[in-house]
Chains A and B, each alone.
Chain A
Amino acid sequence: MEFLLAIITGLLYAAGLYMMLRRSLVKLIIGLIIISNGANLLIFLLGRITKGHPPIIPGDSKIFTEIYADPVPQALILTAIVISFGLQSFAIILIKRAYQVVKTDDLDEMNTIEEDYK
């Protein structure tokens, strides 16, 4: 299973990078979302996966009595998901705003570097 998840992670990275290399701003943001999902999955995978044993101490005991999933990667990913949402939501609204002003979502047309030189 780890093997398949590793492949999926690679696939997410590949798709994310490909989208980020597009000229459209919307695709860039979608690429960003995919890559952040890929990163989450990578961290999750490297913390080793465990089936059916969430890191919750059973009701009657004070410590774990059997195996449990590693809680640290989960805590990390939880933070990462929330923060990347902050980034994504802001970026999405920014696209809208940018489009209203410059009437394009083509990164090359938004590029003002040529004008700056003149």
Chain B
Amino acid sequence: MLIAILTGFLFAILLFFGGKKLVNHKLALLPTLIPLGLFVYFVRFIGEVSNKEFIHKTYEWIPSLGVNLSFTLDGLSLLFSLLITGIGTLVFAYTSSYLKGHEYLDRFYGYLSIFMGAMLGLVLSDNLISLFVFWELTSISSFFLIGFNNTSEASRKSALTALGITGIGGLLLLGGGIVLGNISGTYSITEMLAQKDFIQGHEHYILAACLIFGAAFTKSAQFPFHFWLPGAMKAPTPVSTYLHSATMVKAGVYLLFRMSPLMGSTSFWNNTLLIVGLITMVYSAFHSIFRTDMKGILAYTTISALGILVFLIGLGAHESYLAAAVFIIVHALYKATFFMMTGVVDHQAKTRNVTELSGLRKVMLPVAIAGLLAAISNAGIPPSVGFIGKDLIYEGTFHFEHSAILLTAFAILTNVFISYAGYVAGIKPFIGKLPEKFEKVKFPSFFLWFPPVLLGTLGFIIGLFPVLIEKSLVKPILWSIGEDAAEVHLKLWHGITPILGLSLLTIASGIILYFVLKPSAKKEAFITKFEALSPKSILENFNRAFSKFSVLWTRIFQNGYLRNYVSVIILFLIALMGYTLVDGTTYKIDYASFARLTVYEVVILTILILAIGLIVFAKSRLAAVVATGIMGYSICLLFVFYSAPDLAMTQFAIDTLTVILFVLVLYKLPKYLKLSDYKMRIRDGILSIAFGGLISILALEVLAQPVNSEISDFYAKNSYLLAHGKNVVNVILVDFRGADTMVEISVLAISAIGVFGLLKLRLKSVERYQK
């Protein structure tokens, strides 16, 4: 099974190396073999799965973290795998004609295969962490596919929006997975199921549920995150067909389905899904009737359909799960047909505007048939599978325990809008008179018209013989979420029931609406006025404000002035250290020690203080340099007093050299000016004194602590015995830590070379005449 998932990735890598040659004109159909082969592979499992024999496979990945590539093939995964590979096959074939001769066809197939592999991994994963990884991979491949026309700014922007929204969702999913993992101690969904009651009673259950919701709602374009999906329609039509109607956007629904037996049947879970699904389905169904772009119409009806699915899962009853399971199949069939049909129209007639298109049946009859089939199935007219789907939805709402009438009314309203939108997109472009400008439209090639017709017809075959999917797919789906499926019988004709009446009402209202309401640019302009209030523009404004804020922030902190950086760091340090010193210090001043001060010490300390003062307040550079020298020599004498003869010698030599170097370059430097004003000097002075005071206190604090002389004792003891030297400092430097000293000498040598080079270097004429 791992191989099946990895095939897509492997193929993409292969294309990377030999894509251009492989997928040239003649072999454009070759990639189709990949999804086809996988489809056949998954079809073979139908037998086992329909006998309730689910397949589990585990490959170790990071066992120490409990992250494994464990895969489960149950009814739900099988349905999605078949959709992914089956519709994938048609989309791959369709692409070979749709993007015929496109410069980057190989790239496109690469992205598609990666997506397919990721999507398979997503629906087969039993481990929440590996599910997250595949989830992110679908977002990333979707990003590349939406932005495939990378010369168009709008498509790049849409790709970024989609990535942003679904990327946030991915993070939430990771968060949810980790919370669930912490609660239950495992990342495996199957193992979590055993602890269902514990998880639902846990204090973090709500948090986990919210994170899972966030992931599912962003991926499945639920309100208020729905806006990335209409934007994603900038992608080439095969992508819209594959990702944004049939598979990827259903990943959120899949996740909710998968988690329902674990986290569902609490009022929080069900009510949230119910409300969000309801808002989404009504809101976007309503929006769809104002659109004139065929893809725009389909995008909104897709969101609405996803809303219906979330809503049905939210109902959480046996009937609604059944309805959702069937509706996933129904929707995938007719919506993919719609999209491919739209793609052909766009490809041949170069427009997708329904107000312009008409009479196209005369030039592309098979496409018109596909559109008709899809529109019928979409509207739920018998004998299409759409009728069964719609029936089950009403069954689900009508038999719900609370406010059944209200929910059914909303469902009918949504379905009326959706069926209207289906007529506009699927029938209107093909009927009526053929305008002159479309008379020259060429008949599409085989792989353009055949896939939609095939899918559309399949919808009718299943509608006439629902038993085809009943045992093989629908029952296993219910089993896989722990529902009993013995009573499930899919039928086209239920006899005369209230549900039948509702279906007829929907169909009739949809047709009436079609004749009353005509799509026009005016109506679309009307609805776009409200966009200023939509979540999309709110997000855009937020983004704009955020980038302004970050510019401001950067200007303040990354201002390019060294002294500001230093000041900020020091201020922070003072605040931090000052805060810990608030408790008070432990150092006690030993006044008796002052009596032991010798006159030499007092003199040296006085000179040192004077020298420091001179450096700070000197008006001439020479004075400052001389004072620096005095300071160095005073410290040198301090070293002499306090038993550090080696230090004294080094300090003396080094200080002399520094002063000499300074004097050497002194006369070549500009005037020694006071560049800063009075205020700044006061400010810096206060900051410096605070910092110096803090260092003093710090030193005194450390002095009050006991000293650990273990290392010193070792060196002192062994200096002569091991290294045969009596000057311990010397022995440490040249023997115990000899290698360090070696490196230190090389640093000095490098610096000497640098100094020598800079001294010898002549200015280039370009540099000399600058300024």
Contact = CB atoms under 8 A, between A and B. Distances in A.
Interface of A: 1-15, 17-24, 26-28, 30, 33-34, 37-38, 40-42, 44-46, 48-59, 62-64, 68-72, 74-75, 77-79, 81-83, 85-90, 92-97, 99-108, 111, 113-114
Interface string B577-604: 0000000000001100100110001000
B741 interface: yes
Contacts of A111: 560-561
A71 B715 contact: yes
A89 to B, nearest CB: 5
Contact of A82 (B654, B661, B670, B732): B654
A89 B755 contact: yes
B535 interface: no
Among B590, B691, B711, max chain A CB count under 10 A is at B691
A33 B658 CA distance: 10
A48 B703 CA distance: 8
B549 interface: no
Q: Is the interface of B mostly helix, strand, loop or mixed?
A: helix
Given A93-B661, A93-B758, A72 B715 contact: yes
Contacts of A114: 560
B758 A94 contact: yes
Contacts of B202: none
17 contacts: A10-B697, A11-B692, A23-B675, A33-B628, A41-B638, A48-B707, A49-B643, A55-B727, A68-B728, A78-B733, A82-B748, A83-B748, A89-B752, A96-B665, A96-B669, A102-B771, A111-B561
B647 interface: yes
Contact of A1 (B601, B632, B662): B601
Interface string B719-736: 111000011110011000
Contacts of B494: none
A86 B747 contact: yes
B657 A9 contact: no
Contacts of A33: 628, 632, 658
A78 B728 CA distance: 13
Given A46-B702, A51-B641, A63-B721, A97 B758 contact: yes
Contact of B726 (A37, A57, A86, A88): A57
Interface stretch (B151-159, B265-273, B680-688): B680-688
Size class of B's contact patch? 35 or more
Nearest to A14: B692
Contacts of A101: 763, 767, 770
B513 interface: no
Contacts of A52: 643
Contacts of A8: 605, 608-609
A57 B651 CA distance: 22
Nearest to B651: A81
A17 B768 CA distance: 33
A50 to B, nearest CB: 5
Nearest to B635: A37
A47 to B, nearest CB: 8
B596 A1 contact: yes
A69 B720 contact: no
Among B693, B729, B767, max chain A CB count under 10 A is at B729
Given A71-B728, A94-B758, 19 more contacts: A5-B638, A20-B563, A21-B684, A21-B688, A22-B563, A56-B728, A69-B642, A69-B644, A71-B712, A78-B647, A83-B744, A83-B747, A86-B750, A88-B661, A90-B758, A97-B761, A100-B668, A102-B770, A103-B771
Contacts of A6: 696, 699-700, 703
Contacts of A15: 612, 615-616, 688, 692
Contact of B716 (A2, A63, A83, A108): A63
Nearest to A53: B643
Interface string B187-218: 00000000000000000000000000000000
B758 A72 contact: no
Contacts of B619: none
B605 A49 contact: no
Contacts of A4: 597, 605
A72 B712 contact: yes
Contacts of A21: 563, 566-567, 684, 687-688
Interface string B317-341: 0000000000000000000000000
B688 A17 contact: yes
B518 interface: no
Contacts of B647: 44, 74, 77-78, 81
A71 B691 CA distance: 29
Contacts of A12: 612, 692
B712 A34 contact: no
Contact of B695 (A28, A30, A42, A107): A42
Given A92-B661, A100-B668, A23 B733 contact: no
B644 A54 contact: yes
Nearest to A103: B771
A44 B684 CA distance: 27
A37 B771 contact: no
Contacts of B737: 75
Contacts of A79: 733, 740-741, 744
Nearest to A2: B703
Contacts of A44: 639, 642, 644, 647
B570 interface: yes
- The 9 A-B pairs of least Cβ separation, nearest first, read A14-B692, A10-B696, A113-B560, A86-B751, A69-B643, A10-B692, A18-B688, A71-B728, A23-B675
Given A6-B703, A85-B657, A111-B560, A95 B601 contact: no
B369 to A, nearest CB: 61
Interface in B704-720: 707, 709, 711-712, 715-717, 719-720
Contacts of B759: 93
Contacts of A94: 758
B624 interface: yes
Nearest to A97: B758
A106 B597 CA distance: 44
B688 A24 contact: no
B497 interface: no
Contacts of B605: 4, 8
A104 B670 CA distance: 7
B697 to A, nearest CB: 8
Nearest to B740: A79
Contacts of B644: 44, 54, 69, 74, 77
Contacts of B711: 72
Interface in B631-664: 631-632, 635, 638-639, 641-647, 650-651, 654, 657-658, 661-662
B672 interface: yes
Given A17-B566, A78-B646, A99 B670 contact: yes
